[in-house]
Chain A
């Protein structure tokens, strides 16, 4: 009557669970979005957008040259002097809200395209990138008719035409960070997405076209560095907003010196993540993982320099290694993937170069023993211990899933070490003690300091850097201020 179970059940793996791609609409070829119309590039040149997880071509994208950029800036100026400039804040707000809602409606499609084009895991594009991008539009839509309350007792005027250049790590989110406050303040926009990730910006252009936003208010010109340079150097651009590398940031600042162009630059980082001995260790380990392996480490504020107090260093490193082993690296479209593909071949080479430097410098390397797809650009999560402030891999931004781990003895020592860098974008502090948090947050020279968390973003919260990490703030009221003239 009673039965025996002979088979012992143990060992369990997740079956593949890829997000479907049948619902997305992508064209074979994308033109430039100028003056509310799709126009062919004057050079007739197009370049390929590649899926970094399988090296297959997804679509062709127009390469805009100086003539195209000039056309776009002229269209933006015409819109600024015309319908958009004359429109009330209340009406502008309605358009921005409409764009936000339409993005939400297409969230799933945008998430899949973001993942196909950029290599980030669908979990992140679905749960973080796209919702945050929508929220930026929602947030700034609310300010459009309240500028007088945002800056009380000041006269608030828009700037004019904003030239915006964004990076490839958060393509749609960066577009939202740039476009939403510019429109809310009454400016018009010429935006250039990064060459490896143009597609969601072009999908956003489709949404903007469908929303009925007056022609020329938002222009999207795709291309390479020369396209960006044409925007920065265009005499009729009133404001330059750039997110990207510190090297390019320096070029931009030189280019606009002597002009009256306003600028905000959000550049590189080498942010410190500090684990004090009384920290909630298991949650801190999660914070370290989120800090450096979020988006394959392609995050300007990535917590790439880990500082652990010596008394807990061994246990933290041990736990970190074990946690690394449980991360899934692979197909970015799989819902269970934690770490997706490196954005481009060039970036993978850069990361590999730094890994090699780290080994040559005598640092001890640990990589999770995960299996990595044979095709596509992938890099296993990597830890380096036995490094010092003077190591190259500690000093330079790697922009990949590579973490350096240093130990420290006292709080004063870690403050000095954390600040001992040309960058100053972000920092993280992990401790159970409130007083320590306040002590560190006031002394760390970084634009954002997170306490007992890392890589948390919100449209209401300003973001930006110290020193070579740039200047100006994006997000919140500070972000709005960068797009207005106050008197």
Chain B
């Protein structure tokens, strides 16, 4: 009987321990652990206000041209379609290296982003340039596959020569509170990446609240992400400035805590030069100039490049050209 009571109380005690609320007020100390501690809360209204103020910044003349060229150099030119073929991928890779040859002095994009099956084609196509190969993986975009499949997916892409891996987190697990699962998965993929840099896609459109975005950012960073990324581009809304701001602040807190820089990639929905410049202003005013290079900031986009090119030509010649003067690969 006594043994029974003892074991009962043991079970009871461990239940209590499991149910204990996360301890508070650790988000800024050096021993912060998002699996044990609450992430800082995020006030949506405040974020919207901050973003609105960033959008009132006026970028003109020299700073505009410089900013636009920086944007081009930060683009992960992307094609992620069921109908992707080597032909399509090769053409996109050529575009990444030759954005607008009629106008000398333009940078290349940062990378091209493709499915794992297209990595070797892309790798061959960009040979000799600075353009990196990013590959989505882990059963992109839903991530609804067994761990073994996700690991194979990742290793295959890396073996084919991917420089960067864009993985998706398990949003279902996250939303049901299984943070440890999400963490372990990211850590395992990070290991499988080897030398390739890991971008962790939170798919913020499915996480819905900024508090969730912040929590997921903290978990991803803690699990070894080199970059955190908003979206797959397959779910609406994709990247927004509010979500990106929230993620930038997670990166900032991590940097203030540890001195380690993490990259940021908003993806999907950024299609105009003006919007892209607002993102750069936001990076500058939150993380600072150190993040303003494609080593630490990327845009996941397919149609952004041509709008930026159009603006650059407008800035330098004074007139807008028709979209027919810009290649659509």
A residues neighboring B (CB under 8 Å): 1-5, 7-17, 123, 127, 277-284, 286-287, 311-312, 314-315, 318, 326, 335-336, 432, 452-453
Contact = CB atoms under 8 A, between A and B. Distances in A.
A5 B58 contact: no
Given A278-B24, A282-B249, A312-B25, A12 B108 contact: no
A127 to B, nearest CB: 7
Nearest to B67: A12
A3 B108 contact: yes
Interface stretch (B14-22, B38-46, B166-174, B225-233): B38-46
Contacts of B324: none
A1 B83 CA distance: 27
Nearest to A287: B46
B141 interface: no
A10 B289 contact: yes
Given A12-B284, A286-B49, A326-B288, 19 more contacts: A3-B108, A4-B129, A4-B130, A5-B107, A9-B292, A10-B290, A10-B293, A15-B60, A15-B64, A123-B56, A278-B24, A279-B41, A280-B41, A280-B43, A283-B47, A286-B50, A318-B256, A326-B285, A432-B41
B126 interface: yes
Instruction: Name the 10 nearest CB pairs between A and B, nearest first.
Output: A283-B46, A2-B129, A280-B43, A17-B58, A335-B58, A315-B28, A15-B63, A283-B43, A15-B61, A2-B128
A357 to B, nearest CB: 32
A280 B46 contact: yes
30 contacts: A1-B97, A3-B98, A4-B130, A5-B73, A5-B130, A9-B70, A10-B289, A10-B290, A10-B293, A11-B289, A11-B292, A12-B70, A12-B280, A12-B292, A14-B57, A14-B59, A16-B60, A123-B56, A278-B41, A279-B41, A280-B40, A282-B46, A283-B42, A283-B46, A283-B50, A287-B46, A326-B284, A326-B288, A336-B57, A432-B41
Interface string B229-262: 0000000000000000000010000001000000
Nearest to A2: B129
Interface residues on B, range: 35 or more
Query: Which secondary structure dominates chain A's binding surface?
Result: loop
B159 to A, nearest CB: 23
B67 A312 contact: no
Interface in B24-56: 24-25, 27-28, 40-43, 45-47, 49-50, 56
Nearest to B104: A3
A229 B102 CA distance: 72
B129 A335 contact: no
A314 B63 CA distance: 35
A14 B58 contact: yes
Interface string B108-135: 1000000000000000001111110000
B81 interface: no
Contact of A9 (B40, B127, B293): B293
Nearest to B284: A12
Interface in B125-160: 126-131
B66 interface: yes
B30 to A, nearest CB: 12
Contact of B46 (A5, A10, A453): A453
Contacts of B256: 318
B298 interface: no
Given A9-B69, A9-B107, A15-B61, A452 B43 contact: yes
Given A123-B56, A278-B41, A280-B42, A2 B69 contact: no
B221 to A, nearest CB: 16
A2 B109 CA distance: 12
Contacts of B42: 280, 282-283
Contacts of A1: 97, 128
Contacts of B73: 5, 9
B66 A12 contact: yes
Contacts of A453: 45-46, 49
B163 to A, nearest CB: 15
Contacts of A15: 59-64
B107 to A, nearest CB: 5
Contacts of A326: 284-285, 288
B43 A312 contact: no
B45 A452 contact: yes
Contacts of B25: 277, 311-312
Nearest to A325: B288
A17 B45 CA distance: 28
B329 to A, nearest CB: 15
A231 B57 CA distance: 43
B56 A127 contact: yes
A10 B69 CA distance: 11
B127 A2 contact: yes
A9 B66 contact: yes
Nearest to B283: A12
Nearest to B97: A2
B32 to A, nearest CB: 11
A259 B47 CA distance: 51
A12 B291 CA distance: 11
Contacts of A336: 57-58
Contacts of B128: 1-2
B127 A12 contact: no
A340 B290 CA distance: 27
B259 to A, nearest CB: 14
